[in-house]
Structure 1
Amino acid sequence: MLQHFRKRTSATSLLKACRHTHQHGTFAIALAVAIHEQGHGLGVEFYSEADPDMHFIEVECYGRAAEIGIYRNEPPALDSILAKVNSCCIPIILYNAEGDVGHYSPIVGIDGKWVLLPYTDEKFMLKEELQIRWSAPGIFRQCILIHGS
């Protein structure tokens, strides 16, 4: 996403900023903080359902997020998120991927009933299918909105 907004950073520094681990991957709040800190002026909004059982990395990242002005908001309806997609506003959402695994992907476009998810095998998904996967049991509804200037 940083490349989309013409922001340069190394993959190594981004992975470190995301607090990525092989065991847990990356937590959404860590990704939001990393995009803000590595994005050189990009705006970041964070949406997530409340998590009553946060990992210590998430707790630390929520603290850092508050220091830089990023706060958790309740997630809006998926249609509301999709309505914001344009070249200056790209959402990254968590949804249930194949094998019942949570997966993050940016949404870079809408074409009628299709949503463009470039970091998926299919690249496109029906809006109705994405709604089902975004609301799947065991998957927190999470979204990071990235705003360019």
Structure 2
Amino acid sequence: MEFYCLKNPAVWVRWIMSTEIPDQLLQLEANGGIFAIWKIFQHYGIDLEIADLVQLCRHNNEDGTFGIALAVGLKKLGLEVSFHTDPDPHQHPTEVLCYQEAQQLQIPLQPALSYSALQTCVEQGRFVIVFYDTLEGVGNHSLIYSMDAEEICFFDSFDAMPAQVFEQQRQAEGICRQAIVIDDRNFVMRYS
């Protein structure tokens, strides 16, 4: 896989711009997590209804989605996932319900991953969704496009983020360095 963000930004931007994003997704408030899941399934050539994703991931316009709700949604859609987080002493009631559901679905709940561990997952061909504070101070879920020791690129942004800034932003209050690592090997074998 060629990492256009790092090696050829113009090609990467053209590829992202050529993707037809549904209007319902574009108009959805706080759509980062839903966009990440939609993008993963676009990779497989599977069209998912945005309304179904909203319901599946317990999205609302005020809170968007919670990382654990995205992990539960991905598992229900047939992907193997693990959820990584620092302890969260201030869980929203929706998160509490989703953690219970994650246990029932046997989703591994593991400690937060370091930057280098995230990079290893990406290099191994895993999809990884991370939660971080944008520079505007808004929590955002993004699907990683590529990363190296110096910068990280996301499918929902045209600009690379320096690794140091990303690390700072994922340690903001309430972010808990959350990440979802997706192992699609069994999924790909079932649908190929």
Does the 8 Å CA contact 1:115/1:125 hold for their aligned counterparts? yes
Answer 1 or 2: which has greater strand percent.
1
For residue 14 of structure 1, the aligned residue among 24, 29, 53 is 53
Tell me the alpha carbon deviations over residues 55-78 of structure 1, each in whole angstroms, 9 at most, x when there is no partner: 211111111111111132110211
Pairing of 1:47-62 with structure 2 (within 5 A): 47-62=84-99
Q: Percent identity?
A: 29
Corresponding residue of 1:134: 170
Alignment pair present for 1:93 and 2:130: yes
Corresponding residue of 2:183: 147
- The runs of 5 or more residues in structure 1 that have no matched partner are none
Alignment pair present for 1:103 and 2:134: no
C-alpha deviation, 1:139, in angstroms: 2.4
**Change over 3 Å in CA distance of 1:112–1:50 after alignment to 2:** closer
How far apart, in 1, do the equivalents of 2:54 and 2:84 lie?
Answer: 21
Letter in 2 for 1:67: Q
Corresponding residue of 1:81: 118
Corresponding residue of 2:107: 70
Answer 1 or 2: which has greater helix percent.
2
How far apart, in 1, do the equivalents of 2:108 and 2:120 lie?
Answer: 22
How far apart, in 1, do the equivalents of 2:45 and 2:144 lie?
Answer: 17
Does the 8 Å CA contact 2:85/2:176 hold for their aligned counterparts? yes
How far apart, in 1, do the equivalents of 2:117 and 2:151 lie?
Answer: 15
Does the 8 Å CA contact 2:84/2:111 hold for their aligned counterparts? yes
SS state at 2:41 partner:
coil
- The runs of 5 or more residues in structure 2 that have no matched partner are 1-39, 186-192
Alignment TM-score, normalising by the size of structure 2: 0.69
Alignment TM-score, normalising by the size of structure 1: 0.87
Tell me the alpha carbon deviations over residues 98-138 of structure 1, each in whole angstroms, 9 at most, x when there is no partner: 22111110112125623221213x43112222112122344
C-alpha deviation, 1:7, in angstroms: 4.2
Does the 8 Å CA contact 2:113/2:177 hold for their aligned counterparts? no
Structure number with bigger Rg: 2
User: Aligned-residue CA RMSD in angstroms?
Assistant: 1.8
For residue 69 of structure 2, the aligned residue among 30, 35, 49 is 30
**Change over 3 Å in CA distance of 1:141–1:27 after alignment to 2:** same
